[in-house]
A and B are shown apart, each in its own frame.
Chain A
Amino acid sequence: MSGALQDWKSQKKPFAAVVTAPVFWLALFFVAPMAIVWLYSFGQNAGPADIEISGTLDNYKRATEWLYVSIFLKSFAVATLTTLLCLIIGFPVAMAITFAAPKWRPWLLLGIMLPFWTNLLIRTYALMALMGTNGYMNKGLGELWEGASWLRTLVGMQPLDAWTPVQLLYNNFAVVLGLVYVHLPFMVLPLYSALDRLDKSLIEASLDLGAGHFKTFMQIVVPLAAPGIVAGVMITLIPALGAYLTPDLMGGTDSQMIANVIERQFKRANDWPFGAALSFLLIYAMFILIAFQSMRANKVKAA
C-alpha cells in the first residue's frame, strides 16, 4: 500500500494522465446530474415544466412524514429479508462450488452468472410466467394433486377436490421471491471468493481438534468468510433497497417500495422536487450503511 502511495506522489504527471479521464467522466456523468437532482430537492414546482430552487426544506419535511417513513421502513424490511434469504441460500451454494471438483467449478460459476446474460425485465417476466395461476408451477402442482387424487381412488378413498391454483404472484411473497432470485448471484460470488481463499486445512484442523461440522462452520468458516459475507450483504441489500421493477411487476397493491413511490413522483405526480428529496433520503440511508461497513472494516484492520 505505502509503496503504491509513494509511486503516485513521486510521479504526479503519469498519475494525472491516468486519472484525469475517469475523474472527468465521473464528474460529468455522476456528480453533475446528482448535484442537479440534489438542488431540485430544495425547490418547488413553478409550472408544469419549471422548478424554482428556493432553498425550501418542505420536500424533506414531507418526505419524513410517517407515510413515507413507513414505506422506507417497509422497503428496508423487504430488502433485509431478501438479503437474509440470499445469505441462507447463497452460503451453501458458494460452499458447494468451493468444494466441487476443480473441473466443475468454472461451469458452476458460469451457471451462477448465466442469468446476467438475460435482461432483468425478461427474467422477471419469465418468473411471472412460471408463477401465474395458469403458470407452470401451478400446472405442476395441479398434476401432482391430480396424481395424489388418482392414488387415493386406487386405494378406494374418495378423490380429492378439484385443484384450486395457488396465488403465487402479486403479493409480498412474490416480491421477496423475485428479489431473491435477482440478487442471489450478487451474494454467491463474493461468498465464493471469500470461501475459495479460505485454507481448507483450517477446516480439517478444526475437525481434527474434535469440532463437528456445525461447530466448524460457525467457529471457523463463518468468521473467516466474514469479509465475503459483509460484501455480499452490502451489494445485495443496497440494490434490493432501491428495487423498483420487481415490486412493480410481481407485487400486489400493497407491495410498493420506496423506489416505486419515487418513480411516481417523477412521472405521474410530476413532482420532481419531492421525488428528488425522497431519492436523496434513500441515498443517505445507503451512505450510512456503507459508512458502517467501512468503520467495521477499519476496526478489523486496526485490531
Chain B
Amino acid sequence: MTQAKQPIIQIRNVSKRFGKVTAVDNISLDILAGEFFVLLGPSGCGKTTLLRMIAGFEMPTEGQIFIDGQDMSLVPPNKRPVNMVFQSYAVFPHMNVTDNVGYGLRIAGVSKGEIRDRVAEALELVKLGGFEDRMPDQMSGGQRQRVALARSLVMRPKVLLLDEPLSALDAKLRAQMQFELADLQDKVGITFVTVTHDQDEALSMASRVAVINKGEVAQLAPPADLYEYPANRFVADFVGSVNIFEGKLTLDEPDKAAVDCPGLGKIYLNHGVTGPHGADVWVALRPEKIYLHVPGEGKAVRAAAQDAPDGHNLARGTIKGMSYLGDITLYEIQLEGGQMIRVSRPNLSRHDQEDFTWDDKVSMHWRADSPVVLLS
C-alpha cells in the first residue's frame, strides 16, 4: 500500500517501573492504522507490560500513550477504543458463546436486535457459526480463543490487542491460526497489536515487528529485514538460528568490507558496514546460508566462492553432531580453531542426508552477501 498511514497508536517516552524493577524503559514507537504489529521478545522483556499499558490495565510511570491522537493517560480501560484478547482467553465461564460475545454490546446498551445480528456476524467471521449455545467448558482451546476474538471484534475497536494469542494451542493449530489471524486482520482492517515470544509467529503474521529486550526496543522492522538485517547480536540470535563470531574490522568501504575472525577465518562482504576501522565487531552467519562440501572438492569450492578474494569466506572442520529433521539436516561442526558452527542443509533428494556422517572432514563456504556484521 502506498497511501501514507497515520499512526493509530503513539507511544512517547513510556517507562514503567514496578518498585526497583524497570519493565519498560523509555520506549517510543508509532503503530500505524491497519498494521499487524508484533511485539516480540523473551519472557520478562516488558512486551506484555507495554501491551497492558495500551489497554489501560497498567499506568505508565513516565511518558504518554496516544490512541487515535487522544492522550490516554487518564482514560480507564473500559473507556478506551481498544479491545484485548487475553492469553488465557478469559472467556466468561458462566455464559454461553452468544452471551460472551454479546457482553460488551449489552454493557454498551446496544439494542437486542443489533446485538443478535452483530454477534452472528462476529461468530461467522471466526467460523463459530452453530456454537451459539455452547458453554465454554464444552469447547476446545482453539474454539475458546475464537470466542475471545469474536467478543473483541464485535466491539469494532480501533485496535485489537492480542496477548500471546497462540501460546496455548498445539503446534498444528498454531500454524493454522497464524494464517487465520493474518487473514482475519486483512478482512476486518483493524489494527492488530500482538505480543509473542515466538519468532515464527512474529515473522509469519506481522507487517512490522518490534523486538523488545530488557524494556527497550532492540529493533523495529518488517519481518524479512529483521531476519536478514538484524541490528544487533540480540536480534540476530533471538530471531532464527545463527552462528556468531567475534572479529576485527579490517576493511570498510562503501562496496566491500572484511572482518578477521580468529575463530572462523577471513570474512569478506560485498557491501560496506560503516563501522570504525579496527573496531571489535561480530559476524553473524545463518546456518542455512553455509554450503557444505567434501574436502577433495577444492575446485568446486573455489568456484563457488568466486565473489570473494582467495582465502576468504571459507572454513574447514569435522562433523561432531547431526540431527535429521526431515526437511533439513542440521550439522554441528567443529572448526579447525576448535569453535563450533551450525550448518543446515536442505534434503533436496531422498538420500542427501547420507552424504555426510560423524567425524567426516568437511569444507564450508558462503556467499559474500550472507554474513552480517554487527557492531553491538
- A208 touching B88 by the CB < 8 A rule? no
Contact A201/B87 with A207-B77, A211-B78 known, Cβ cut-off 8 Å: yes
- B90 touching A205 by the CB < 8 A rule? yes
B:98-147 near A, CB below 8 Å: 103-104, 107-108
Flag whether A212 is at the interface (Cβ < 8 A). Answer: yes
Q: Which of A207, A219, A223 contacts B78 (CB 8 A)?
A: A207
Flag whether B155 is at the interface (Cβ < 8 A). Answer: yes
Interface residue tally on A, bucketed by range: 10 to 19
Flag whether A199 is at the interface (Cβ < 8 A). Answer: yes
Q: Which residues of A contact B66 (CB under 8 A)?
A: none
Q: Which residues of A contact B229 (CB under 8 A)?
A: none
Shortest CB–CB separation between residue B349 and chain A, in angstroms? 50
- B107 touching A211 by the CB < 8 A rule? yes
Flag whether B151 is at the interface (Cβ < 8 A). Answer: yes
Q: Which residues of B contact A223 (CB under 8 A)?
A: 94
Contact A202/B78 with A209-B83, A209-B155 known, Cβ cut-off 8 Å: no
Complex-state Cα separation, A201 to B93, whole angstroms: 12
Complex-state Cα separation, A209 to B156, whole angstroms: 11
Query: Interface of chain B, helix or strand or loop or mixed?
Result: mixed
Q: Which residues of A contact B155 (CB under 8 A)?
A: 209-210
- A209 touching B103 by the CB < 8 A rule? yes
Flag whether A206 is at the interface (Cβ < 8 A). Answer: yes
Q: Which residues of A contact B368 (CB under 8 A)?
A: none
Flag whether A108 is at the interface (Cβ < 8 A). Answer: no
Interface size on B, residues (CB 8 A): 25
Q: Which residues of B contact A202 (CB under 8 A)?
A: 90, 92-93
Flag whether A296 is at the interface (Cβ < 8 A). Answer: no
Complex-state Cα separation, A223 to B99, whole angstroms: 14
Shortest CB–CB separation between residue A100 and chain B, in angstroms? 16
- A224 touching B77 by the CB < 8 A rule? no
Flag whether A177 is at the interface (Cβ < 8 A). Answer: no
Q: Which residues of B contact A211 (CB under 8 A)?
A: 78, 103-104, 107
Query: Interface of chain A, helix or strand or loop or mixed?
Result: helix
Q: Which residues of B contact A209 (CB under 8 A)?
A: 78, 83, 103-104, 107, 151-152, 155
Shortest CB–CB separation between residue B172 and chain A, in angstroms? 26
Q: Which residues of B contact A52 (CB under 8 A)?
A: none
Flag whether B238 is at the interface (Cβ < 8 A). Answer: no
Complex-state Cα separation, A205 to B56, whole angstroms: 11
Flag whether B23 is at the interface (Cβ < 8 A). Answer: no
- A206 touching B103 by the CB < 8 A rule? yes
Name the residue on B nearest A224 (C-beta): B94
Complex-state Cα separation, A207 to B152, whole angstroms: 12
B:69-103 near A, CB below 8 Å: 76-79, 82-84, 86-88, 90, 92-94, 103
Contact A208/B78 with A201-B86, A201-B87, A215-B107 known, Cβ cut-off 8 Å: yes
Q: Which residues of B contact A206 (CB under 8 A)?
A: 92, 103
Complex-state Cα separation, A7 to B272, whole angstroms: 73
Flag whether B57 is at the interface (Cβ < 8 A). Answer: yes
Complex-state Cα separation, A201 to B84, whole angstroms: 10
- B86 touching A205 by the CB < 8 A rule? yes
- A210 touching B76 by the CB < 8 A rule? no
Q: Which of A205, A208, A215 contacts B92 (CB 8 A)?
A: A205
Q: Which of A208, A210, A220 has the most CB of B within 10 A?
A: A208
Flag whether A204 is at the interface (Cβ < 8 A). Answer: yes
- A204 touching B90 by the CB < 8 A rule? yes
Shortest CB–CB separation between residue B98 and chain A, in angstroms? 15
Complex-state Cα separation, A285 to B289, whole angstroms: 81
Flag whether B373 is at the interface (Cβ < 8 A). Answer: no
Complex-state Cα separation, A209 to B108, whole angstroms: 9
Flag whether B55 is at the interface (Cβ < 8 A). Answer: yes
Chain B, residues 243-279, CB within 8 Å of chain A (1/0): the string is 0000000000000000000000000000000000000
Complex-state Cα separation, A204 to B152, whole angstroms: 13
Chain A, residues 177-212, CB within 8 Å of chain B (1/0): the string is 000000000000000000000010110111111111
Chain B, residues 142-163, CB within 8 Å of chain A (1/0): the string is 0000001001100100000000
- A205 touching B84 by the CB < 8 A rule? yes
Q: Which residues of A contact B90 (CB under 8 A)?
A: 199, 201-202, 204-205
Chain A, residues 146-169, CB within 8 Å of chain B (1/0): the string is 000000000000000000000000
Shortest CB–CB separation between residue A220 and chain B, in angstroms? 6
- B107 touching A208 by the CB < 8 A rule? no
Name the residue on B nearest A300 (C-beta): B94
Q: Which of A204, A207, A210 contacts B108 (CB 8 A)?
A: A210
Q: Which residues of B contact A199 (CB under 8 A)?
A: 88, 90
Q: Which residues of A contact B82 (CB under 8 A)?
A: 208
A:206-265 near B, CB below 8 Å: 206-212, 215, 219-220, 223-224
Contact A204/B86 with A223-B94, A224-B94 known, Cβ cut-off 8 Å: yes
- B83 touching A208 by the CB < 8 A rule? yes
Complex-state Cα separation, A207 to B79, whole angstroms: 9
Complex-state Cα separation, A201 to B88, whole angstroms: 8
5 contacts between A and B (CB under 8 A): A208-B78, A209-B103, A210-B108, A210-B155, A223-B94
Q: A202-B93, A207-B57, A208-B55 are in contact. List 16 more A-B contacts (CB 8 A).
A: A201-B87, A202-B92, A204-B55, A204-B57, A204-B90, A205-B90, A207-B77, A209-B78, A209-B104, A209-B151, A209-B155, A211-B78, A211-B103, A211-B104, A215-B107, A224-B93
**Can you list the 8 inter-chain pairs with the closest CB atoms, starting with the nearest?**
A209-B104, A205-B90, A201-B90, A201-B86, A207-B77, A211-B107, A210-B107, A223-B94
